[in-house]
């Protein structure tokens, strides 16, 4: 039995585990660790890998699974909506980058053919690196995320014509007209196949498979679809990665897309790591050391050039200055498909071995720097925005026309850009409660304003934007942005403007709660914990446990897990609820079948029975604070109860049910 491949896998996993353990402790993205693992284990340094070809095969599988999961997160309808970005933005970015790079490449003693070829190599960005990072940061569907994805999709599509163009640049005789006609026919066939698969084939096929209730069969079917479509596009002369993306698109609009995504995530993460390791293995460390200053200067030149061109393209597409900087830095690296194109160019002697090694060093270094560039793109954009920039540069070519919001007080402000914030705003609207929204995405803000909603477009970190939404006079502020750093910055700014507002913040992890309470949040909703609570509530209901007992249990669980942090949160001013964190106030509508309807407050014995105090009562439109014991409770009245959460839960059960 040949154990060479197994030995290579063990070495890669051992090195990756060690390097990533260190990088995780010092907060450096894992992608850089994988690249460094490849450099260390590669043939140009320690030479620990005996079968680099097998590693590259696993790397190809990683790229296929990565592109497939990205396709699952999109939909065909969504892709059609961003066709302007794909074709106009992608083409403009490619031509400008290739043209400017060709002029600069002439200073590296290249002829015009080699210079043009290097221009195309430089124009391509890393789909695998950028989309993986955006996926991890939940930014794929943001306004700038859609632009980045659109440009990357065009780059993947244009790789095929570039591969056809390469032999022509080398001077080999080729019937380019015939090849382009064949490519056009293949493209039409692929588009038709994807459309039919998305609309009819995949929904029915996956439904039949799901009816078997076999997890193994479902997983095997998803992998079969992914690999089969990737193989089909490869047979038609296109990249397997692009085919995998199309396979994901075919499934994305079905009800099984989320299940497929969850099943493939562990496989994708493992095989994608091999891709980055294989890229690192290509780097010749000796060449980098011998030409260190040249490599460093070229890396800086490429990053600067690509940032400016991609940012300019985003600006023409209507992005604000903030989005321009984020898009520019996100696309500043050289892509993995450039390695494929460079290999073809080297085999046709368009570029020399020296320039090939220089390209590898620059490309790998720029890919390694990508996580850092993307991470610091937003802080850098906010820093530059503090300068007195022209208004058209700050707002972009197509600024969102802001609506005039009348002066408001004691209202709700919803801050966010995702579906949660939009759905929450819709729910608030149905209850006819006064509210305004602060939305980061210009397209989303424009749509909400067209519906007649009082929305403000802008970054909620900026005080003028918050003042337009009257956050300084609001009673309640909801922060639903996902990213912890962003949520903390907004919460801190809002609290400095409004000392008395009740601020509810959504976060992903329970571990974020303490930090958010410390800077001024009134209540923090951790997604991972609330999802578990929701599951547990349904489980208890299925076992027919009484509703009152369920409410008491859930209230106790919440208090035990993150209620402890409340006592650390202090704001100016005296409040009983802040000094006694176990106490809450709840508003409860009295059911017409409630045992308390038609009784006096003294007859309910709420304090003795439930341990709660009725502090106010709303009858019709009149609020009665501190009601007398002889006050009558009528059906549809709203009573305000003060007490511990589990005690309130018991009282709610009798007030709202017969």
pLDDT band for position 307 (cuts 50, 70, 90): very high
394: in domain: no
CA–CA separation, 292 and 285 (whole Å):
10
Query: Is 70 exceeded by the pLDDT of residue 74?
Result: no
pLDDT of residue 567: 44
CA–CA separation, 457 and 464 (whole Å):
11
Closest to 322 (Cα-Cα) out of 371, 388, 383, 372: 383
pLDDT band for position 564 (cuts 50, 70, 90): very low
pLDDT band for position 180 (cuts 50, 70, 90): low
Distance of CA 289 to the CA centre of its chain: 37
pLDDT of residue 171: 66
401: in domain: no
Q: Which two tokens stand for residue 445?
A: 């803000």
Residues 564 and 588 in one domain: no
pLDDT of residue 569: 43
pLDDT band for position 526 (cuts 50, 70, 90): confident
Query: Is 152:159 a contact under the CB 8 Å cutoff?
Result: no
Beta sheet of 455-457, edge-to-edge order: 455-457, 435-439, 412-416, 476-480, 502-507, 523-526
CA–CA separation, 495 and 521 (whole Å):
8
User: What pLDDT, in 10s, does the model give residues 389-425?
Assistant: 887 787 776 666 666 788 888 889 999 876 677 778 8
Closest to 443 (Cα-Cα) out of 396, 482, 379: 396
pLDDT of residue 120: 92
**C-alpha distance from residue 10 to each of 14, 16, 23, 266, 275 (Å):** 6, 10, 20, 18, 16
Compare 104 and 532 and report the one with higher pLDDT: 104
pLDDT of residue 328: 93
Question: CA torsion sign, 341 to 343 to 347 to 351?
Answer: positive
Residues 119 and 238 in one domain: yes
Query: Is 60 exceeded by the pLDDT of residue 357?
Result: yes
402: in domain: no
Compare 526 and 311 and report the one with higher pLDDT: 311
Span of 66-80, 143-157, 191-205, 355-369 with lowest mean pLDDT? 66-80
Residues 371 and 512 in one domain: no
pLDDT of residue 646: 73
13: in domain: no
User: What pLDDT, in 10s, does the model give residues 468-477?
Assistant: 888 889 989 9
Closest to 497 (Cα-Cα) out of 465, 459, 458, 523: 465
Residues 96 and 238 in one domain: yes
Q: Which residues contact 610 (CB under 8 A, 6 or more apart)?
A: 643, 647, 648, 650, 651
- Say how many domains are in the chain: 3
Residues 633 and 564 in one domain: no
Query: Is 80 exceeded by the pLDDT of residue 296?
Result: yes
SS3 per-residue string spanning 573-640? CCCHHHHCCCCEEEEEECCCCCCCCCEEHHHHCHHHHHCCEEEEEEECCEEEECCCCCCEECCCCEEE
Compare 70 and 339 and report the one with higher pLDDT: 339
Residues 490 and 631 in one domain: no
pLDDT of residue 306: 94
pLDDT band for position 100 (cuts 50, 70, 90): very high
Query: Is 50 exceeded by the pLDDT of residue 650?
Result: yes
Domain end point (choices 506, 539, 568): 568
Compare 300 and 499 and report the one with higher pLDDT: 300
**C-alpha distance from residue 179 to each of 207, 230, 231, 627 (Å):** 39, 21, 20, 86
Residues 229 and 376 in one domain: yes
28: in domain: no
As beta bridge partners, residue 506 has 525
DSSP conformation letters of 409-476: -S-EEEEESSHHHHHHHHHHHHTT--EEEEES-HHHHHHHHHTT--EEES-TTSHHHHHHTTGGG-SE
Closest to 152 (Cα-Cα) out of 231, 239, 233, 236: 239
Residues 314 and 216 in one domain: yes
User: What pLDDT, in 10s, does the model give residues 113-139?
Assistant: 888 999 999 999 988 778 778 877 767
Mean pLDDT of the 67-72 span: 75
Query: Is 50 exceeded by the pLDDT of residue 570?
Result: no
Residues 70 and 203 in one domain: yes
Q: Which two tokens stand for residue 271?
A: 């095989």
Share of the chain above pLDDT 70, in %: 86
397: in domain: no
pLDDT of residue 293: 92
User: What pLDDT, in 10s, does the model give residues 489-502?
Assistant: 888 888 888 888 88
Domain ranges, residue 242: 56-384
Query: Is 60 exceeded by the pLDDT of residue 270?
Result: yes
Share of the chain above pLDDT 90, in %: 8
Mean pLDDT of the 584-593 span: 80
Residues 355 and 485 in one domain: no
43: in domain: no
pLDDT of residue 305: 94
389: in domain: no
Query: Is 38:19 a contact under the CB 8 Å cutoff?
Result: no
Query: Is 50 exceeded by the pLDDT of residue 636?
Result: yes
Query: Is 60 exceeded by the pLDDT of residue 658?
Result: no
User: What pLDDT, in 10s, does the model give residues 420-441?
Assistant: 777 788 888 887 888 888 887 7
pLDDT band for position 294 (cuts 50, 70, 90): very high
Residues 350 and 201 in one domain: yes
As beta bridge partners, residue 416 has 480
Mean pLDDT of the 233-242 span: 73
pTM (2 decimals)? 0.64
Query: Is 70 exceeded by the pLDDT of residue 160?
Result: no
**Which CATH number characterizes residue 482's domain?**
3.40.50.720
């Amino acid at each position: 039995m040949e154990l060479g491949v197994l030995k290579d896998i063990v070495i890669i996993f051992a090195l990756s585990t060690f390097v990533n353990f260190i990088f995780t402790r010092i907060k450096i993205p894992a992608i850089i660790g994988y690249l460094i693992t490849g450099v260390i284990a590669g043939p140009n340094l320690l030479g620990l890998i005996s079968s680099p070809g097998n590693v590259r095969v696993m790397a190809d599988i990683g790229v296929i699974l990565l592109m497939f999961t990205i396709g699952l997160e999109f939909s065909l309808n969504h892709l059609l909506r961003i066709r302007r970005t794909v074709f106009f933005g992608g083409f403009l970015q490619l031509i400008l980058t290739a043209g400017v790079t060709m002029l600069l490449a002439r200073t590296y003693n290249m002829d015009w053919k080699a210079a043009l070829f290097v221009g195309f190599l430089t124009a391509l960005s890393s789909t695998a690196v950028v989309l993986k990072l955006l996926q991890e940061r939940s930014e794929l569907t943001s306004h700038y995320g859609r632009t980045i994805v659109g440009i990357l999709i065009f780059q993947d599509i244009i790789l095929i014509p570039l591969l056809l163009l390469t032999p022509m640049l080398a001077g080999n005789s080729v019937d380019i007209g015939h090849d382009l006609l064949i490519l056009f026919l293949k493209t039409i066939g692929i588009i038709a196949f994807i459309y039919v698969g998305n609309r009819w084939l995949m929904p029915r096929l996956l439904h039949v498979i799901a009816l078997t209730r076999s997890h193994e069969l479902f997983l095997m079917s998803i992998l079969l679809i992914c690999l089969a479509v990737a193989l089909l596009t490869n047979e038609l002369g296109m990249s397997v990665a692009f085919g995998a993306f199309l396979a994901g698109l075919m499934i994305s609009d079905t009800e099984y897309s989320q299940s497929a995504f969850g099943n493939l995530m562990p496989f994708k993460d493992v095989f994608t790591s091999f891709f980055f390791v294989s890229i690192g293995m290509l780097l010749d460390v000796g060449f980098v050391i011998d030409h260190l200053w040249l490599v460093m200067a070229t890396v800086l030149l490429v990053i600067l050039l690509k940032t400016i061109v991609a940012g300019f393209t985003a600006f023409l597409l209507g992005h604000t200055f903030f989005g321009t900087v984020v898009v520019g830095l996100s696309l500043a690296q050289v892509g993995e498909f450039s390695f494929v194109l460079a290999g073809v160019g080297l085999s046709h002697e368009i570029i020399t071995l020296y320039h090939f090694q220089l390209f590898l060093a620059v490309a790998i270094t720029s890919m390694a720097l990508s996580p850092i560039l993307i991470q610091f793109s937003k802080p850098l954009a906010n820093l530059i925005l503090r300068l007195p920039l022209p208004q058209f540069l700050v707002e972009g070519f197509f600024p969102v026309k802001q609506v005039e919001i009348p002066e408001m007080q004691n209202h709700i402000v919803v801050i966010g850009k995702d579906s949660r914030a939009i759905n929450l705003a819709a729910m608030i609207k149905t209850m006819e409660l006064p509210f305004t929204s602060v939305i980061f995405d210009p397209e989303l803000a424009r749509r909400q304003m067209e519906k007649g909603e009082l929305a403000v477009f802008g970054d909620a970190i900026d005080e003028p934007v918050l003042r337009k939404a009257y956050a300084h006079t609001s009673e309640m502020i909801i922060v639903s942005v996902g990213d912890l750093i962003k949520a903390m910055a907004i919460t801190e700014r809002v609290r400095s403007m409004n000392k008395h507002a009740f601020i509810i913040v959504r976060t992903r992890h329970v571990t974020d709660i303490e930090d958010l309470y410390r800077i001024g949040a009134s209540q923090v909703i951790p997604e991972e914990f609330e999802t578990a609570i929701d599951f547990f509530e349904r489980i208890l209901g299925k076992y027919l446990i009484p509703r009152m007992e369920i409410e008491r249990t859930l209230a106790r669980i919440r208090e035990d897990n993150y209620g402890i942090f409340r006592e650390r949160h202090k704001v100016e001013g005296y409040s009983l609820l802040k000094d006694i964190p176990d106490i809450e106030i709840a508003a409860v509508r009295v059911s017409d079948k409630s045992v308390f309807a038609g009784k006096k407050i003294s007859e309910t014995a709420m304090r003795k029975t439930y341990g709660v105090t009725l502090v106010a009562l709303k009858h019709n439109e009149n609020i009665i604070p501190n009601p007398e014991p002889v006050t009558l409770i009528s059906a549809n009245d709203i009573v305000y109860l003060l007490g511990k959460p589990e005690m309130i839960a018991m009282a709610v059960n009798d007030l709202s049910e017969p």
